[in-house]
Structures are given as structure tokens and as C-alpha cells.
Amino acid sequence: MRAAGREAAHERVEITKNGQRAAVLLGANDYDSMMETIVVLSDSDLLAAHLRGLEEIEAGDVLDADALVMLLNETGQFRGRG
């Protein structure tokens, strides 16, 4: 399988040396995602904000795009169409 195909499938390739796992090759998107996760988990304020956001979503405290544009227009914060 080509490297591009492996990246799309989120596969990892283990590289061994003398029969022991020495390194792991993974796609750039998977690496970036892993690094972003580490950043969030290591920043207690960012993690708390993320968890609050998940709680708000579960509680139904969300806006669709149209409602968001309307709210931003009402508060003068939207400078796009509308």
C-alpha cells in the first residue's frame, strides 16, 4: 500500500531494529491530531473549557449557523452578510 493510502486509513507502520520496535511511522494528520490532544490535556484551563463545551452541547446549549449570525448581527460583532 502506498504511504498516501496508509495515511487515509490511519495506519501506523512499526519500524524494528534487531527484532525490537524502534520507531512508529504515522501520517501527518494523525501526528498533528495526537500533538493537539497532548496540548489540550496538558493545559488545565484549556481542558476545563473543552469539558464545559461538551457539557453545554449535551445540555442542548448550542446555536446553528443562522442563529449565530443573527446573534452576532444583533450585538454588532458580525461584519459579513446578513
- pTM for the whole thing? 0.52
Between residues 37 and 81, the one the model is more confident about: 37
Asked whether the beta carbons of 3 and 28 are under 8 A apart, the reply is no
Cell numbers 489540550 correspond to 40
In this predicted structure, the answer to whether residue 79 has a pLDDT above a threshold of 60 is yes
Instruction: Tell me the three cell numbers of residue 60.
Output: 442542548
Kindly state the percentage of the chain with pLDDT values over 70.
87
Between residues 11 and 81, the one the model is more confident about: 11
5 class by beta-carbon count within 10 Å (0-12 exposed, 13-18 middle, 19+ buried): exposed
pLDDT tens track for 16-31? 999 999 999 999 999 9
Average pLDDT in the chain = 87
Instruction: Tell me the three cell numbers of residue 1.
Output: 500500500
CA 42 to chain centre: 15
Task: Count other C-beta atoms under 10 Å from residue 11's C-beta.
Answer: 14
